[in-house]
Structure 1
Amino acid sequence: MFAALCTLSLAVPLFGPQAGAAVAGVVLLGAYLVPEGSLFDLLAYPGDYEDARLYGLITFVLAGVALGLIATAASMSVAVFVGTILLVGYGNLGEQLVRLRTDNDVVRVAGFCLAGSLAAVAGLAGTRALAGDPVAAALPVVVFLAASGAVLGALLRDMLLRSDDPIVVLSVGLLLWLLAELGPSIGRLEIVVALAVTVALGYASYALETASIAGMLTGVLLVLLTIVLGGYGWVAVLVSFFAIGGLSTKFRYDRKTELGVAEDNNGARGSGNVLGNAAVALVAVLGYAASDAGLLPHEPGLFLFAFAGSIATAMSDTLSSEIGSVFDRPRLITTLEPVEPGTDGGVTWQGELAGLTGATVVAAITAGVFPEIDLVGGAIVVVAGVVGMTVDSLLGATLEGPLLGNQSVNFLATLSGALASAALVLVVPLLG
């Protein structure tokens, strides 16, 4: 029933926005006038029983209406609107069908992503066909949009409640709108390879217990967007952090547990940790794509250095904390006084050396996959990584706890590394 109601979104491309608004009005009125009975039980969210109103369905339809208004009043295409609604509706259906046979969370997520992707492809491509636009040439981009939206939807549903589907609808719709505006250029073979690489890396991170399901989905989305909008060189730099950083959490894990500094969940990183370390890198990728498409005035290369600086920071900070935390004599970075292991802002020379090594590894990989980054460019990436790592320690010693959480500190540190890298690129030629 839920998927069938979402199918009514096809009224917009078939009969126009007015017909779609009329359908939404009928559904809203019906949802408000059904306080009990078998239909109520069929459509009710758990919280709807207390008020005897189908508020879950009402808010979902209102979210769809808001997305439809954006599609008619702004540059969002009707295809994105329809694809988003069908993705969430049929993604839910796929997830529930999987639940009938297994309780495995990974299979459940796969069911949502597969059903949601297929429905979104049908919605995006079908709407284009109804409008008389060519479908075959745009199919790789359609698949990319559908897969990106499905992964984001699965991630949000894993983090939120089932009754939060309106948030999922709006978030997925806005992401697909942004990606469609960037106009990525990708062929059929490229999208197949991108999806295969992304799924393989995501499953490997979960199987090796370096990421939770939410962390895996976050990483999958980041890698997919990076491959398509940046390229394989960009994803090589990103994956180096995920791989080395994830494995570093296993380094002397028993010792870290004794000291009380080990990552929770057996070292598997969640979505907050992944986003805290890689959100700035994702913004840099989007900035690069927007700049390359002429939507931003800056040179695309500037965003490349910002990307590399943020990843160098994430790698430096992760290695310095994961390796340095097993040593017994950390000192507070602001006063150099001895502190207990695991104290925010505590550093060891072993950790600092590991952080410098991490930044150097990222710089070497960056220089290896991007011919335009020479020895000076590699040095800039190393310096940016060390700057970001130092900012992380300073924030940990001063603001973390009372004002900032760990993920906020990670975000600000990677932002510092990205800004330092971009600033050095602009300043170094002047010095020369």
Structure 2
Amino acid sequence: MEIVILAVVIALVAVGAISGLVIGSRKKKQLPPSAPPSAPTITAPPAEPHVGDEAETPREEPRRTIEEVDLPTADEATASPVTVEDPVVAAPEVEVPAPTAGRLIRLRSRLARSQNSLGKGLLTLLSREHLDEDTWEEIEETLLTADVGVAPTQELVDRLRERVRVLGTRTPDGLRALLREELLALIGTDFDRAVKTESGLDTPGVVMVVGVNGTGKTTTTGKLARVLVADGRSVVLGAADTFRAAAADQLQTWGDRVGARTVRGPEGGDPASIAFDAVKEGIAEGADVVLIDTAGRLHTKTGLMDELGKVKRVVEKHGPLDEVLLVLDATTGQNGLVQARVFAEVVAITGIVLTKLDGTAKGGIVIAVQRELGVPVKLVGLGEGADDLAPFEPEAFVDALIGD
């Protein structure tokens, strides 16, 4: 019996010891009551709002009665309201273009600077004491270099040789007068060089401007609008060049400067449709002239050239097309003649505009292109200024070539 009691006592002591060890180890693993100062503070995310059965009971908010709300007085209520004016957008200022009469004469010095190698070169050669075969070959070469063309060059040289031999004139003034007369005969003084802008009907005159890329066609159309406005004509512009993104914006800018409205369509739209609408708008507004700027079509693209013919046919549904102006870059020389031939096969060219004539010594292109097409040069571009497009005057042009 005593042995059993002793065993129970030993078991109780062992259980107590084991319990003390377990409790002691747990106390050692507890976290300290406060985190050290350098430990980061962890913020729990905001609780999401509860809905439905889990929704919280609304809290009571203080509310004001109608008597506690400050209302405006009678004077304040009847006071005139504060008005905010819309910003005023200033309309573009309409410019007054320079008069066209005598423009080429005013620009003659600019033209003369670029043509010295032609006119003065010829006078220097003709003033030699002995006009032998070598001299005449140099004269011929000078004319060819200036893009006068083979046939006109041979014709001019033959006439000069005959007249110098018969008349025997060798004074500077005599040679200048002789050369002036022969150059005027080649250029022609009997062409009608006026731009046709009157239809003879109750519809506006319609002018279509054509040419390849890079000749300054859209700029020329804008400058032509200035020429017409300067002469007292009202103008509507048709932006039928839908293949070049900036063409319509560029043309509209030119029109806004002189108060001419521009009819345009979406980029890549049908050029013939826009040309048709431009003439329609011109008729509705009673405008004097409608100018249609077409795409700068490469003369090697047969399909695009056919499209140009379509524009012409669609425009003529309103009435006759009064003028088709071909814009050529004078600096391209004989390549311009290739362009002229192809355009003449598609549309009936009635006049030529030579641009950049002030930047080239190839003034003979005037003679060559007229001979090629049988139509006159009607306008020439002599600079980058807005009013540097001038009606072509043969006398002023030749005087610029040979100097005073």
Structure number having the greater strand percentage: 2
Taking structure 2 as the reference length, what is the TM-score of the superposition? 0.19
Structure number with greater Rg is 2
Taking structure 1 as the reference length, what is the TM-score of the superposition? 0.18
